[in-house]
Amino acid sequence: MKESLTETCVPARAQPGVQRDGKLRHVVESQQFTVPLLMELFDRAAGMERVVARGGSLDFRNKIMATLFYAPSTRTRFSFEAAMHRLGGSVLSTEHAHSFSSAVEGEQLEDTIRIIGSYCDMIVLRPIEEGGAKRAAQVSPVPVINAGDGDGGQHPTQALLDLYTIFRERPLDGLRVAIIGELDRGRTARSLAYLLAKFDRVKLFFVSPPALRMRKDILDYLDEHGIDYEIEKGIDRVIGEADVVYLTRIRPDRLQGDSLKPYVIDSSVLRRMKPDALILHPLPRTVELDGSVDADPRALYFRQAKNGLFVRMALLTMLLE
Amino acid sequence: MKESLTETCVPARAQPGVQRDGKLRHVVESQQFTVPLLMELFDRAAGMERVVARGGSLDFRNKIMATLFYAPSTRTRFSFEAAMHRLGGSVLSTEHAHSFSSAVEGEQLEDTIRIIGSYCDMIVLRPIEEGGAKRAAQVSPVPVINAGDGDGGQHPTQALLDLYTIFRERPLDGLRVAIIGELDRGRTARSLAYLLAKFDRVKLFFVSPPALRMRKDILDYLDEHGIDYEIEKGIDRVIGEADVVYLTRIRPDRLQGDSLKPYVIDSSVLRRMKPDALILHPLPRTVELDGSVDADPRALYFRQAKNGLFVRMALLTMLLE
Amino acid sequence: MKESLTETCVPARAQPGVQRDGKLRHVVESQQFTVPLLMELFDRAAGMERVVARGGSLDFRNKIMATLFYAPSTRTRFSFEAAMHRLGGSVLSTEHAHSFSSAVEGEQLEDTIRIIGSYCDMIVLRPIEEGGAKRAAQVSPVPVINAGDGDGGQHPTQALLDLYTIFRERPLDGLRVAIIGELDRGRTARSLAYLLAKFDRVKLFFVSPPALRMRKDILDYLDEHGIDYEIEKGIDRVIGEADVVYLTRIRPDRLQGDSLKPYVIDSSVLRRMKPDALILHPLPRTVELDGSVDADPRALYFRQAKNGLFVRMALLTMLLE
Q: Are residues B92 and A78, on separate chains, in Cβ contact within 8 Å? A: yes
Among chain B residues, the shortest Cα distance to A302 is held by B115
Residue A102, pLDDT > 60, answer no
Q: Which residues of B fall within a CB distance of 8 Å from C98?
A: 72
> Nearest CA to C114 among A231, B275, B284?
B284
CA distance B262 to chain C (A): 20
Pairing, β B122-126 against β B176-180: unpaired
- Cα(C160)–Cα(C43) distance, integer angstroms: 13
Q: Are residues A114 and C252, on separate chains, in Cβ contact within 8 Å? A: no
Q: Are residues B285 and C96, on separate chains, in Cβ contact within 8 Å? A: no
Summarize pLDDT for B164-201 with one digit per residue, the tens: 999 999 999 999 999 999 999 889 999 999 999 999 99
Residue B5, pLDDT > 60, answer no
CATH architecture of A170-299: 3-Layer(aba) Sandwich (3.40)
CA distance C17 to chain A (A): 30
Half-sphere exposure of B117 (CA within 13 A, CB side): 20
Total length of chain C:
321
Touching check for C182 and chain A: CB below 8 Å?
no
**Which amino acid is present at A99?**
S
Determine the pLDDT at residue C74.
94
Q: Which residues of A fall within a CB distance of 8 Å from B141?
A: none
Determine the pLDDT at residue A22.
67
pLDDT band at residue B155, thresholds of 50, 70 and 90?
Answer: very high
Per DSSP (E only), the strands in C83-181 are 90-93, 122-126, 144-146, 176-180
Residue B102, pLDDT > 90, answer no
Instruction: Assign a CATH topology to domain B5-154+308-320.
Output: Rossmann fold (3.40.50)
Mutate to test the interface with C, among B85, B158, B304, B312 (most CBs of C within 10 A): B85
* Mean pLDDT value across residues B294-298: 97
> Nearest CA to A283 among A131, A185, A162?
A162
CA distance B292 to chain C (A): 12
Determine the pLDDT at residue A211.
94
- Cβ–Cβ < 8 Å for B155, B187: yes
Secondary structure (3-state) at A277: coil
Among chain B residues, the shortest Cα distance to A86 is held by B62
Mutate to test the interface with B, among C59, C70, C118 (most CBs of B within 10 A): C118
Touching check for B252 and chain C: CB below 8 Å?
yes
| DSSP 8-state class, residue A66 | E
Determine the pLDDT at residue A120.
98
Secondary structure (3-state) at B68: strand
Among chain B residues, the shortest Cα distance to C111 is held by B284
CA distance readout (Å), C214 to A87, A99, B175, C232, C259: 49, 27, 62, 11, 18
Q: Of all helices (H) and strands (E), which one includes residue A112?
A: helix A105-116
* Mean pLDDT value across residues B105-125: 90
- Cα(B266)–Cα(C212) distance, integer angstroms: 46
> Nearest CA to B56 among B86, B90, B89, B91?
B86
Tell me whether the CATH fold assigned to C5-154+308-320 matches the one assigned to C170-299: yes
Q: Are residues A252 and B101, on separate chains, in Cβ contact within 8 Å? A: yes
Touching check for C82 and chain A: CB below 8 Å?
yes
Q: Which of residues 8-67 of B touch A (CB under 8 A)?
A: 61-62, 64, 66
Determine the pLDDT at residue B21.
63
Secondary structure (3-state) at A48: helix
CB contacts < 8 A, A to C, total 65
Secondary structure (3-state) at B85: helix
b/e string for A11-46 if b means 16 or more Cβ within 10 A? eeeebebbbeeeebbbbbbbbbbbbebbeebbebbe
| Residue ranges per structural domain of chain B | 5-154+308-320, 170-299
- The yes/no answer to whether this complex scores an ipTM above 0.85 is yes
- Cα(B145)–Cα(B314) distance, integer angstroms: 13
| Peptide bond just before C275 cis, omega within 30 deg | no
* Mean pLDDT value across residues A209-238: 96
* Mean pLDDT value across residues A117-122: 98
Secondary structure (3-state) at C276: coil
Q: Which residues of C fall within a CB distance of 8 Å from A100?
A: 284, 286
Q: Are residues B114 and A302, on separate chains, in Cβ contact within 8 Å? A: yes
Mutate to test the interface with C, among B57, B60, B81 (most CBs of C within 10 A): B81
Q: List, run by run, the mean pLDDT of 10-residue segments along chain C (321 residues).
A: 40 44 88 96 98 96 96 95 98 84 61 97 95 96 96 93 98 98 92 96 97 95 97 96 96 85 95 98 93 97 98 98 88
pTM, full prediction: 0.94
CB-nearest to B97 from A74, A86, A286 is: A74
- Cα(C63)–Cα(C67) distance, integer angstroms: 13
- Cα(A71)–Cα(A94) distance, integer angstroms: 10
CB-nearest to B302 from C95, C115, C120 is: C115
Among chain C residues, the shortest Cα distance to A113 is held by C75
* C260 φ, ψ (degrees, to nearest 5): -75, -35
**C116 CB-near residues (< 8 Å, 6+ apart):** B74, B75, B78, C66, C68, C92, C123
